[in-house]
Each structure stands twice: as C-alpha cells, then as structure tokens.
Structure 1
Amino acid sequence: MLSLLGNSIAGIALPLIVLQTTGSALGAGAVAAATAVPAVLAGLLMGVVIDRINRRTSSVITDLVSAASIAALPLVDLVSGLNLGWFILFGIIGSLGDVPGATAREALLPAVVRHGGVSAERLMGVRETLGAVAILLGPAAAGTLMILFDGSTVLWITAATSLVAALITLLIPRHVGTIVSEDGIAAAPTGTGWSQLRDGWRALFRSRFLLVVTMIGLASVLVLGAMQGLVLPVFFTQENRSGLLGFVLSALALGMLLGGASYAAAGTRGARRAWFVTGLAGTTAGIALIAALPSVWVVFAGAFVVGFSSGLFGSLIGVLMIERIPETMLGRIMGTQNAMMTAAPPAGIVLAAMLTEYISVNVAALALAAVWTAAFVLALTARSLRRLEPENPGRMMTNEARVASGEQ
C-alpha cells in the first residue's frame, strides 16, 4: 500500500513541482512522455530478473530505486538547482523501479498465501481494498502537502513512503521470497536471459486463459484511462463543473474499497463464476452510465459502480492468476502484462482525443464503451473462463504443463 500511496502522491505532486520549477506546462508533459517508454521496457525485461532472485529481495530493491530517484531531486536542488533535464533523468530512473516493483510485489503473493495461512480470496480482497485506500488518499495527501510545504519537502516525504515500504518488506522472512517449483523445491530458471524471456512470452501468448485475461485487463485500463484522462475532463469543462472532476476518482476508489472488502469477507462463499459474472456485469453497467454522459451526478454513480464491481472482479482475477501461473514464471508473465497495462491508457487517450477533436466527446465516450462491451462479451463466452473453481492437483496436469500446452 505504501508503494502505491507514494506513486499516487508523486503522480499529483511531481507535475506541479515540475511546473513550479520550470514554468512550462510542456516541460511537465515532456517528463511524462520521457518516462513512459522506459517504464514499458522495464516491465517487459525485468521480469527475467524477478524470476531469478529472491522475490522479497527484488521487491525491496525496486522500492529503494523508486525512493532514491525521488530523493535525488531535492539533493540536486540543494547543490546546483533543478532543471528539466534533471526531472527527466530521475524520472527515467524511477520508472525502472515502478513497473518492476509492482511485478515483484505481485510475484510475492503466492508465497504469502502459502506461508501466511491466509486464503487467496482474503489476501486479494484486502489488497484491492488497500489499493483503493491509497488511490483515495494519495491525491488529497498530495494537495495538502503542496499547500503546507515547499516542493523539496514534498519530494522527501514522497521518497520516504517508498523507503518505509522497503523496510516493511524486509520484515518478511527471506525464505518466503524463495522461488519454488510445483513440488515445493527451490528453483530458478535456467538458460540465457533472452531464452527465459522468450519462454515467459510463449507461456503467456499460448495460454488461452492468460491471453483472455490480459485482453480484458487491457480493455479495462484503456477505457478507464481514456475516460479519466480526456473524456471526463472535457465533459466537466463543458458543464462548467471542472472543480468536481477530482471527485470522480474518489467515487471510483470508494467503490473499489467496498468491493475489495466485500470479496475479502465473502469471496470463499458461492460459485466463482457467479462472482465473475457479477463483477463483469456491474463494470459494464457502470461504464455505460459514464459513457452516456447524462449529468455530472450520474457520472459519479457510474464511477462508484465501476469501482465496486472491479473490486470484486479484480480480486477474483488476482486469485486465478495466483493459482494458474507457474510460480517460476510469475515475474516474466506479470511483468509483460504490467508493461502492456502501462502502455494502454496513453493509447486510449490518443483514440479519445482524435474522436473528440474531429467528432464529439459523446462519440468518444460511446466508442470507449464499445471497446469494453467487446471485452465483456469475450469474457462471458471464453471457454477458458467457464470453469473457475480450484482444480484438483491429483487429477489435473501441473500448471507448467497446462500453460505450456495452452490449456490454461
């Protein structure tokens, strides 16, 4: 949660600090653009490293990289003063910790389930809840800090969140982060880095389950990223209610908090398919409410419904990923997925911007809703997502064999 909270604070505070320091809105945009490609590449390539070293160690290192990249800025400011080049440089360094860090923490989850005596459903529900809390508190904390302190102090506080996250992770016994195979024996990939990366990509794109889940996730972040990043700002501006725009994210986060908490409390009860369909249908209904753009208050309601439903849906998908991805491939598969998820929102924003510019914002919203509707239909009809209950290890192939054969 602390890592996500730090990223949430940085996402609001850092552009403001860049703007205050350089006096250029273009400069803030340049920092975001310059860090996007390294973040995607780091997500794609660092999965190999995460699958080779202790998972606790990789999580700590990535948090320390994030902390150092932020803390370096006020240090440079003290020595020589900041300019756009420094923001870009340390933004690129920080991006090498952000996406791999998320991957490392996700890859550690199966071991937490195995050693912690907690069900995957409860763990993933709590994770969604804490993530929602971080999203809810981050923007408010960033705004408050920017009012109370100067930019350098805010950067120190932001760096401290990642540092504390690393220190807390160190409290986890080191053996918990050991990579193990299906039979519980410590294992690590063999071969060159490129061959290991190729094996991970082959497993991802040959598995029907992983391929469909990845496509659904891409559609979700593309649609929501474009809605938040372009469609809703344009709509709220047209309605002369731009001051209320930030509350959309609050409504979404509050919904996620309640949805994740509900799954943590009751996720082990009832059929998984029922949870799956409920989450999908609710997300579709919420996106439809937002895309219609009937009024500001209906958009708030739609955001809450999307958040609540995605809290249920995201928690269940997290459980399935823990169960169905071989632990020895978690870093490479999840790293590739996270890299793709990082690249999807900008693509959605570009699509929405073109439709808004040349047709209208309403058409852009409906086009995004159509993208999610296609993902909804795919999720409901995909054969690989029809049987979601835990498998009997004594009667089924191992995860490695099933992924390699494409049956998952």
Structure 2
Amino acid sequence: MKRVPIAYLSSYVLSVLGNSIAAIALPLIVLQTTGSVLGAGAVAAATAVPAVLAGLLMGVVIDRINRRTSSVLTDLVSAAAIAALPLIDLFSELNLGWFILFGVIGSLGDVPGLTARDALLPAIVRDGGITAERLLGLRETLGAVALLLGPAAAGTLIVLFDGSTVLWITAASSLAGALTTLLIPHRVGVINPGERDAAPFTGGSWTQLREGWRVLFRSRFLLAVTTLTVASAVVLAALQGLVLPVYFTLVEQPGMLGFVLTALAAGLLVGGLVYTIAGARGRRRAWFVTGLVGTTLGFALIAPLASVWIVFGGAFVVGLSSGLFSSLIGVLMIERVPEQMRGRVLGTQNAVMTAAPPVGIMAAAVLTATVTVYVAAVVLTAVWLVALAVGVFARSLRHLDPVVEQPTGDEETVLSGA
C-alpha cells in the first residue's frame, strides 16, 4: 500500500481514538473536578448546538480551501481545546465555566474535521492506488479497533494518572492525527480548479451554503442514504445511551453494558474486514440488502430484551451488518457526491448525524418514563423497520453498481450514477 492511504488511515485512527478517549474521560474529569453530575450534563449540552452549527456552516470553507489543510486545522482546533484545560489548571483553578468554554471551542473542530476527512476520500483513492471498497473497509475496521481500545484506554488512564495528564494524552492524540495528515502531499488535497469553479460560488457564503443544501435535498439518492444513516444513528444512540443502561440496571447487571458495546464494536471490526476483502466482488445491491437485513435481524434480537446473552448476540449482528452497510455507503458517497460540493453536502449530513443521537435518547427516555423500557426498545426497532422499507423499495437505491456510459448531464443522473 502506498504512503498516501497509510497516512490517511493512520490519521483517521488517531482522531477516532482521541475522540473515544475524550468521550469517556472528559465527563469523569468534570465530575472529579466539579463534583457535579449536572455539570457534566451541562458540558455535553453546551457543545451539541455549536457542533451542529459548525458542521452546517464550515462546509463552504472546506469546499474553498485545500482539503488536507482543512483536515489538519480541525484536528489542531480539537487538540488545542483539550490542551488548554491542563494549561489553565497549572495557573488557575479549573471550574465548570472553563470546561464549557473549551468544550464549545473543541466542538467547532469535531464535525468539520469529520467532513474534511470524508471530502478527502476521493483524492486518496485516486492518488493512493487503492480501490474505494478496500479503503472504506479498512477505515471501518480500524475505526472499530479504535472504538474498542478508546474506552478501555480512558478507564486505564483515569486510574493511573490525574485528570490533567489524561487531558494532555488526549490532546496529543489529536495533535498526532494532524501531524500524520501532513504526510499526505499537499497536492492531494487541492480541489481541481475546474470543479471548484463549476460550483456556484457567486454571492455570499449563505448563497453557497444553500446551493449545497439544494443538491442534497433534490437528490433522491442522497435523501434516501441520509434517511438510512440518521435512522441508524437514532436507534443505536437510544439503545446504547438509555435503553440498554436501564435494562441492565433492572436485571442488576450494570457492568454488562460495557461488554455489549464491545460486542457491537467487535461486529463492526469483522464487518469491516469482510468488506475489505470481498467488497469489490459481487453486486453492490446484494451487499446493501445483506447489510440492511442483518441490521434488522440484530435490532430484532435486541428489542425483546429477552436475556443478556441474546442482547449480546444482537449487538454483534448489528455491528457486523453495520460494518458492511457503512463501508458500502462510504463508497457510494465517494462516487456520487459532486466533488465541488462535497464539503457542503457532507457537512450538512454530518451535522444532522450529530443532532440525531440526542433526539433518539430523549425519545427513548420519554417512552421509558411514560410506559416501559421494553416498549421503548420495540418502538426503536419499528423506526428502523421504516428505514429498512426506504432502503429496500427506494428506486434510487436499486441500481448501485457503477455504469460505463457517460452521464447525460441531468443532475439527478449525475448524483445517482444511473
């Protein structure tokens, strides 16, 4: 494998690892420092809205500048926001206000950083001598490894070191991701002038942003894919963030929650490996339907909350199928989102994906409080069944294999690859 895809995958893993460590360690450090459970919740709530807004608005910038540069800058923002906390702790006393301030600053780099890396994918495929299937399969696989290691690393670091040291280590991970991205040649991130100028960059930033939204919402393919990914995010977040914690508390086995999340990550790892090895073979529609049906089977196993071991099995099946599904969707997005619009289209999608989990958790909380956790699990599965119907019956998702014929110039044809 050439240097370019190795550098890209390495930076991706370092970024995911840093984020997964921060997701576990930061709330614990806030609790240790402030002694307030509400404080930890306030930090999470305060960072959610800026992250969504940054994802929506920064797509215009990502479509304007070198995409390697935008990826590096967003990682540096994340690293600086985390590193500022132990720096302040050296000279002053950390309090809730500091955590909220730098949590908001850090959130401004999170979704744009994800968008910048996604926007860079087609160039990595072109310059790296690697197929899109292999690149996306490897990315899903390595991302699953990072998700497996992150929580364990966070727990170990919290036990071994004080909060400031853990924050330094977390910031170092984001910094290492930025430095690794610099190993990608600058020319790889350059937006082709013809493609850039083909985008309607007349008018102000708001006009440019609306043009990206117009492309997203007028494409039946992109709308269907967005529906599927948002539904997956809502259901998974609600299960992980509320339904399963409540269930394991009811059966007096709260410690088992971590093992279920490990089973999910292990499934993602296997699914990514399978797609890396075999994703370029066979018809894409078959891979697509297999991923959808497998995910449905996994949710169906979890929904009754029949026993701990069945929930474990369901989590693994969901992870395995999601690994296939996510990898294929990534390949399709490389092929079908116009290059000059990638920042704006993917930025909007990632912003929606960031907002989706809190919605799912809140809905599950209302159902659990007013009815039972078992009803909440069934309703979440029903939500996914709607997404399954979209995936199976949407005309824009029936023909997924690339075609040899030249595009006709019709916008929908260009976007759908048909």
TM-score range, shorter chain: over 0.9
Which residue among 328, 334, 338 is the counterpart of 1:316? 328
Contact 1:67–1:162 under 8 Å retained in 2: yes
1:239 and 1:164 map into 2 onto residues whose CA distance is 42
Cα contact 1:206–1:406 (8 A) shared by 2: no
Distance 1:274 1:306, change over 3 A: same
The letter for the 1-side match of 2:411 is: A
Q: Deviations over 1:276-296 (max 9, x none)?
A: 010000000001111110011
Residue 401 of structure 1, CA deviation: 2.9
The answer to whether residue 376 in structure 2 is matched with residue 360 in structure 1 is no
Alignment-mate amino acid for residue 201 of structure 2: T
Do the aligned partners of 1:280 and 1:376 also contact (CA within 8 Å) in 2? yes
The CA deviation at 1:188 is 6.7
User: What's the secondary structure of 1:294's corresponding residue?
Assistant: coil
The residue number in structure 1 matching 2:183 is: 171
| Post-superposition CA distance 1:102-129 (Å, at most 9, x none) | 0000100000001111000000000100
Tell me how far 1:177 sits from its aligned partner.
0.3
Is 1:284 the equivalent of 2:287?
Answer: no
Partners of 2:153 and 2:77 lie apart in 1 by: 22
**How far, CA to CA, are the matches of 1:50 and 1:335 in structure 2?**
9
Call closer, same or farther: CA 1:187–1:152 in 2, change over 3 Å.
farther
Within the alignment, does 1:72 sit opposite 2:84 as a pair? yes
The superposition leaves residues 17-51 of structure 1 with CA deviations (integer Å, 9 ceiling, x where unpaired) of 00000000000000000000000000000001111
Which residue, 191, 194, 214 being the options, matches 2:226?
214
Correspondence for 2:408: 397
Task: Output aligned runs, 1:5-404, within 5 Å.
Answer: 5-180=17-192, 190-191=201-202, 192-392=204-404, 394-397=405-408, 401-402=411-412
Query: What do the CA deviations read for 1:107-165 (whole angstroms, capped 9, x no partner)?
Result: 00000001111000000000100110111100000000001110000000000000000
**Aligned partner letter, 1:237:** T
Separation of aligned partners in 1, 2:415 and 2:201: 20
User: Residue 300 of structure 1: CA displacement?
Assistant: 0.7
Distance 1:188 1:81 in 2: 49
Paired with 1:290 and 1:180, the residues of 2 have a C-alpha distance of 47
Tell me if structure 2 keeps the 8 A contact 1:206–1:403: no
Q: Distance in 1 between matches of 2:66 and 2:334?
A: 17
RMSD of Structure 2 on Structure 1 (CA):
1.6
Q: Is the 8 A contact 2:196 2:340 kept in 1?
A: no
Question: How far apart are the structure 2 equivalents of 1:204 and 1:403?
Answer: 14
**1:198-230 CA-partner distances (Å, limit 9, x unpaired):** 000000000000000001111000000000000
Identity of aligned residues (%): 70
Distance across 2 between alignment mates of 1:150 and 1:6: 17
Q: Secondary structure at the residue paired with 2:303?
A: helix
Deviation at 1:397, TM superposition (A): 3.0
Shift in alpha-carbon separation, 1:54–1:405, aligned structure 2, 3 A: closer
Whichever residue aligns with residue 293 of structure 1, its letter is L
Contact 1:201–1:333, Cα closer than 8 Å, also in 2: yes
1:185: Cα distance to partner? 8.1
SS of aligned partner of 1:292: coil
Distance 1:185 1:81 in 2: 48
* Contact map agreement 1:179 1:188 (CA 8 A) in 2: no
The amino acid across from 2:260 in the alignment is V
Residues 1:196 and 1:238: Cα distance change in structure 2 (over 3 Å): same
Kept after mapping to 2: 8 A contact 1:35/1:88: yes
Unaligned residue ranges in structure 1 (runs of 5+): none
Check 1:185–1:333 CA distance in 2 against 1; reply closer, same or farther (3 A cut): closer
Specify the alignment match of 2:14 in structure 1: 2
Whole-angstrom distance in 2 between the partners of 1:234 and 1:335: 33
**C-alpha distance after superposition, 1:289-335 (max 9, x if no partner):** 11110011111110000000000010000000000001111110010
- Matched residues in 1 for 2:336 and 2:153: separation? 37
Q: Partner of 2:201: helix, strand, or coil?
A: coil
Alignment gaps of 5+ in structure 2: 1-12
- Decide whether the 8 Å contact of 1:206 with 1:404 is kept in 2: no
Name the TM-score, length of structure 2 as normaliser: 0.94
Cα displacement (A) at 1:396: 2.0
For 2:44 and 2:302, locate their aligned partners in 1 and report how far apart those are by CA, in whole Å.
Answer: 27
Partners of 1:13 and 1:143 within 8 A in 2: yes
* In structure 2, distance between residues paired with 1:380 and 1:87: 45
Q: How far apart are the structure 2 equivalents of 1:207 and 1:186?
A: 21
Equivalent residue, structure 1, for 2:6: none
Shift of 1:82: 0.3
SS of aligned partner of 1:269: coil
Deviation at 1:195, TM superposition (A): 1.1
